Structures are given as structure tokens and as C-alpha cells.
Amino acid sequence: MTELPEMTEGRDEPTSARVILTISAIGALAFMMLYSVLYPGHPFPGLGSVLPLFSELGDSVVWFFLMGIGLGVGMLVATLLGETIAD
């Protein structure tokens, strides 16, 4: 009798998996936007509420987004420095 392994993990990545991931991300984003509807009276925590280091920035959510752009630009600078030094 052939014994099957306990479990196997395929190497292929079906395209539909990415679609599901994207839809999940959009859905999560949509629910976050409905935060004030789901939890009325509770403001969405800003960056300053999560990280005391940034408490002076205020409680606006926009700082999360700006931090993302900042990280992206930081990665650009790091890549540039790294590649220049490597060369």
C-alpha cells in the first residue's frame, strides 16, 4: 500500500490566489474606512497614539500613509547607496 506523505506544499502560485489576496486587502481597507460607522465615537487611532515617539504629529491617520511613502523613499536611498558602494 502506497503511503502518502503527511502533507505537501506545491510550488506553483495560481493566479487566483493573488486575486483573493487583493480582494481581501481591499475588503479590509473598506472595513477600516467604515471604522467610524462600526465604532461610533471612537476615533481611529493615529500614528501618535500608537507610537509615543510621534505623539507631536497629532492623531491624523494621514501620517500612516506618509510614513509608507517615507519608507519607500528610504528604500530608494538605501538601494542607491548600497549599489553605489557595491560597485
Partner 1 sequence: MDFKIIVLSYIIWLLAVRFLASRGLGPFSSFAKDFTGFLLGKGLGPANDLIEDRPGTGARTWYAHGILWFILAATLSFTSLWTAHEPYALHSLSSVGYSPSTEQATAAVHVAAAFGALSMLLIASGFASQAKLCGGRLASESNAALMAWAWSGVVFIGVIISHTDLIGGTNWFELPPVYYILFTLLGLPLFFNHLLTMSGSDSPVLVPQWFFVMGFAALIWTGPATMALMTGESEILSWMLVKVLFGGWLLSQALGVAHHVVPSALGVPLWSRSLASVALFGTFLTFSPLGAAAEVGAASDSLRAIVAILLTLSLLPIIATVANLATTAGGRMFESYGVKMTMLGVALLVPIGVGSLFASVSAFGGGAEQSHIAATLDALAIWGVCGAIALGGAHILFPSTTGRSLASVNKSRWTFFLLLFGVLGFGVGQLIADHVNAALGAEAVVAALEDAGVTPPDTAVAVQVFASIMFYAVAIAGVLSAQNMLSGAFRGTKIGDDTPTRAAAPRRHIVTGATTVRDLLSAGVGLDTEISMEGGSGSSGHISLADLSTPEADEEGEDDSGDSEEDSASGAVVEPSGGFSKMLKVELVSVAESAGLDSSGTKADIIARLNAA
- The residue ranges that bind partner 1 (CB under 8 A) are 22, 29, 33, 56-58, 60, 62, 65-66, 68-69, 72-73, 75-76, 79-80, 83, 86-87
Find the shortest distance in angstroms from Cβ 45 to partner 1: 14
Q: How far apart are the first and last CA of the chain?
A: 58
- For 2-20, the DSSP string reads PPPPS----S---HHHHHH
- Cell triple for 82: 548600497
User: Which lies closer to partner 1 via its Cβ, residue 1 or residue 37?
Assistant: 37
User: Which lies closer to partner 1 via its Cβ, residue 20 or residue 33?
Assistant: 33
Find the shortest distance in angstroms from Cβ 10 to partner 1: 19
- Cell triple for 2: 502506497
Find the shortest distance in angstroms from Cβ 57 to partner 1: 5
Distance CA 19, CA 21 (A): 5
